[in-house]
Structure 1
């Protein structure tokens, strides 16, 4: 199992999530509003936010855990629909998940997805 974590522009959220929902068997997606900065340190960004004299840019973080067989499909959708070609499009991280426990049913592993 893999966790896919993507940081994308807020304006791309609807497009990305609509396409993710079309992937059969996708267990679900967690969406969080976040702020941060990259190599350019938010210089010149139109949508930057000041917090204690540090400039941050608002972004969306998507998280999803899937079977290994679904990784390419999920990554491809995020890459295609989050892309603008401009600096600050975001990043996609893929990590290995050792175990999952569903709290309600106590199921483990793939059954917990």
Structure 2
């Protein structure tokens, strides 16, 4: 199993989620509003926000856990629909998941996703 975390522009959320919904068998996506900064430290960003005297860029974090066979497709969809070609498009992180437990049913592993 793979966990895919993507940090993307807020303006790209609708296009990304519509494309992800079209993937047959996708178990679901968690979406969080976040803020942070990258190598540019948010200096020239048009959408920066000031939070406790520090400049951050508002972004969206998408989190998905899928079986190994689906991971590349999910990454490719996120990359395609998040891309603008400009600084700040975001990052995609892919990690291996050892186990998942579905709390309601106590199922484990791929059956739990």
Q: What is the TM-score with the length of structure 2 in the denominator?
A: 0.99
Q: How does 1:1-113 map to 2 (within 5 A)?
A: 1-113=1-113
RMSD after superposition: 0.4
How far does residue 14 in structure 1 lie from its aligned partner after superposition? Answer: 0.1
Deviations 1:10-57 (A, max 9, x none): 000000000000000000000000000000000111111111221000
Task: Count the aligned residue pairs.
Answer: 113
Q: 3-state SS of the aligned residue for 1:13?
A: helix
- Using the alignment, how far apart are the partners of 2:39 and 2:47 within structure 1? 16
The answer for unaligned runs of 5 or more in structure 1 is none
Q: What is the TM-score with the length of structure 1 in the denominator?
A: 0.99
How far does residue 111 in structure 1 lie from its aligned partner after superposition? Answer: 0.8
